[in-house]
Structure 1
Amino acid sequence: MTTTLLDWTPATPPPRAPIDGRFVRLEPLDAQRHGEDLWDALQGPDSDPAMWDYLPYGPFAERSAFDSWLQDKQGSSDPLFFTVIDKATVRAVGLLSFLRIAPADGCIEIGHIAFGRAMQRSPASTEAIWLLMSLAMDDLGNRRLEWKCNARNARSRRAAERLGFTQEGLFRQHAVIKGQNRDTAWFSIIDSEWPRRREALQRWLAAENFDEQGRQRQRLEAFREH
């Protein structure tokens, strides 16, 4: 049997550097600079407590515990955390990360997504994830982009499908999180699929796809159907 070797150059590890978009700017997590805004967005009176249901940490009853958690995460390289800065308000409104970073295999995951209520179901939330998707596939040269979530997390599963990830399967009894069983749903985009996913996201995020009130003219899924 003949083995075919890949014409393959390992991917580049993600840099700890800001990424600029139209609605948001991603900055490497800085607990001192971002902590106050993040506490307000993720734990304040207008936050979404359901956001913590499927994360392996939180919610935080004390600000000191939250600050300690941020301090720990800001020094991590895997996961590599980014703070989402709303460019309209110049305030931190959420977090997300790269994780399971494997440059030799060209595989990387997006996860640890914690968006304040104001960001949810907004162009800003889509753009924040798009910025990491584009960095991973276009700039760093990965072959595979992953998304994983608790199988009971309907919001995360819908988000993955909307963004163009393909569900690959279910890992039963994959983990124990907060004392509960987690079956994990696995999703991915591979490099042969990426050009079409990229085009759809770019077209959806374009200024002409939004009316004067900021409402979308076409759904993201519609751009993948053409």
Structure 2
Amino acid sequence: MAIPEVNNGSDLDKLWLALSSLTSIQTLDDILEAFGLKDMPAAQRYGIMFGCMTFTFTITAVVSLLFLGGTFKRIQEQSETGTATIPDAITARVDRPLLLERLLEARERLMKNDASPPTQEGFTNLTKTILNVGPSVEVVKKNSSKKQEVRRHIPPGYEANYLTAYRKCQDKPGGKTLSGLPEARYEAYARSYAGCGVNTSFTYRRSYARMYETLACNTHATEKKMSDHFTNRPEDIVGRMVRLEALEVDRHMQAIYDITSGEAHLENKSFNPMEVWGFLDCGPFANPKELQNSWVFQRKHNEASFAIVESITDRPIGVIILTNDDPKNLTVSLELPIVKPTSDGTAEQIEACFLVMDKLFALGYRRIQLALDAHDASGKKMPARIGFTQEGMIPKHMIVKESNRDSNIYGMLNSDWDAGARSFLFKKLHGAAAQKSDDSNNKSEDELDEQQRQLKEKRDKEEAEKKVQEKANK
């Protein structure tokens, strides 16, 4: 198909003549000639044709998705209202459709036939396992003249660990001596080292004790504050910004209610309580009594809960909970910490997780699991902050507030913790210099402990051989 040439005439006439020639297209060769492709090699010719077809299909698909997906509609709405129309995470959770009535009825019927495990307030066995140990100082003072009575109130192994740590800190203190308190560092290091208990790793005890010593002996004021706190509550796990206290109704319930109810309290402004409770299976609560009767304070035998207390203000900022403790397989689940909105994603929340995880791995656990609502956009940032790895997603995992919940599953392994996850978090919380010092101290102490172990084995062997020789001589 030849396109006639026009030597005279306007550009419009030439364009009209060129377009009119398209009406005479009858074969594939006519199309190729119209686009100037007829004389090209076959491979190039068909390659260009298929490229054009792919481009056309792609544009068609994109435009269709924009229309069907409602993007153009949202753009129009935003141009009219001046605000974004994509719902936030809380709105998405509140507006989530409820389950079918028949499913809710089946759930209620089956739950009646299923005997729920008993719950309790106060300390579960898991709580006691994680907490630090220490003597009842008041009892010790009261019976200071009765050594046997005093020893009854000292946990097994505490005294021996205290003396060992005291001597180690004398040989290598963590900093300068406080004026007027020459033994403050030794005592701080020793009581925190011994407080870790006899079942934790040596690496954990040294690291925790050195951190505690540094914090306690920063100034005379901090030394007095932490010494007094140990006298009253030796079992608390102390960090730089927060400490963990076993959750108690009398001590923590009112404060936890005040910071999560949504009402203005102290320096905290009012907020939507669904920011805290929207993705949880309980709350918001109308009064503290409802909070007390919820699973926040009612613990199963394989669970533990701790109040996150800010070190500066000595006020709770939230709760951290452990569930599904499985000692047989050395696994446990960590729930996303429940904190007031202004503490969400802060270093305080991260340190609370670090303190729990560090103690769990020091006790011998192999895996910690974290399950989050797949729609919780804010909560899903937390696993990355504390080094967890996403392992998968479970559809229809739970029923929360009569709606379906798909759960993202994250995990932390003891091997990953030792390989660098712990150092990463320690550096984030305490700084690069402290992390480098911690690693160096643990390395040198490990070498020293190994030398002492070998010397002890050698002495024990020599004593055994000596006894055998003496027995033979008789």
TM-score by length of 1: 0.80
Alignment of 1:113-124 (within 5 A): 113-124=337-348
1:94 alignment partner in structure 2: 318
1:178 alignment partner in structure 2: 401
**Are the counterparts in 1 of residues 336 and 372 from structure 2 also a CA contact under 8 Å?**
no
The structure where helix makes up a greater share of residues is 2
Determine which of 135, 159, 167 is the counterpart of 2:390.
Answer: 167
Alignment of 1:28-39 (within 5 A): 28-39=246-257
Superposition CA RMSD, Å: 2.1
- CA change 1:208–1:37 in 2 (3 A) is farther
**Are the counterparts in 1 of residues 373 and 405 from structure 2 also a CA contact under 8 Å?**
yes
Q: In structure 2, list runs of 5 or more residues that go unmatched.
A: 1-124, 132-235, 434-474
Shift of 1:62: 2.3
The structure where strand makes up a greater share of residues is 1
1:21 alignment partner in structure 2: 239
**Are the counterparts in 2 of residues 42 and 48 from structure 1 also a CA contact under 8 Å?**
no
- CA change 1:156–1:194 in 2 (3 A) is same
Measure, in 1, the Cα distance between the counterparts of 2:429 and 2:309: 17
1:128 alignment partner in structure 2: 352
Aligned residue type for 2:290: A
Q: Which has the larger radius of gyration?
A: 2
Shift of 1:72: 4.4
What is the aligned residue count?
196
**Are the counterparts in 1 of residues 350 and 385 from structure 2 also a CA contact under 8 Å?**
no
Alignment of 1:101-120 (within 5 A): 101-111=325-335, 113-120=337-344
**Are the counterparts in 1 of residues 337 and 349 from structure 2 also a CA contact under 8 Å?**
no
- CA change 1:99–1:71 in 2 (3 A) is closer
Measure, in 2, the Cα distance between the counterparts of 1:171 and 1:104: 24
2:428 alignment partner in structure 1: 204
Q: In structure 1, list runs of 5 or more residues that go unmatched.
A: 1-11, 210-226
Shift of 1:70: 7.1
Measure, in 1, the Cα distance between the counterparts of 2:424 and 2:288: 40
Shift of 1:55: 0.8
Shift of 1:68: 3.0
Measure, in 1, the Cα distance between the counterparts of 2:291 and 2:326: 29
The reply to whether residue 152 of structure 1 matches residue 370 of structure 2 is: no
Shift of 1:56: 0.9
Measure, in 2, the Cα distance between the counterparts of 1:85 and 1:167: 29
Query: Which of 1 and 2 has higher RCO (CA within 8 Å, sep 6+)?
Result: 1
Determine which of 264, 275, 285 is the counterpart of 1:60.
Answer: 285
- CA change 1:83–1:77 in 2 (3 A) is farther
Shift of 1:112: 5.1
**Are the counterparts in 1 of residues 259 and 340 from structure 2 also a CA contact under 8 Å?**
yes
User: What's the CA shift string for 1:140-188, capped at 9, x where partnerless?
Assistant: 1111111101111122211112211111111111111101101111000
Measure, in 1, the Cα distance between the counterparts of 2:391 and 2:320: 22
2:413 alignment partner in structure 1: 190
TM-score by length of 2: 0.39
**Are the counterparts in 2 of residues 171 and 184 from structure 1 also a CA contact under 8 Å?**
yes
- CA change 1:132–1:93 in 2 (3 A) is same
Measure, in 2, the Cα distance between the counterparts of 1:81 and 1:90: 18
**Are the counterparts in 2 of residues 48 and 116 from structure 1 also a CA contact under 8 Å?**
no
- CA change 1:151–1:62 in 2 (3 A) is same
**Are the counterparts in 2 of residues 31 and 71 from structure 1 also a CA contact under 8 Å?**
no
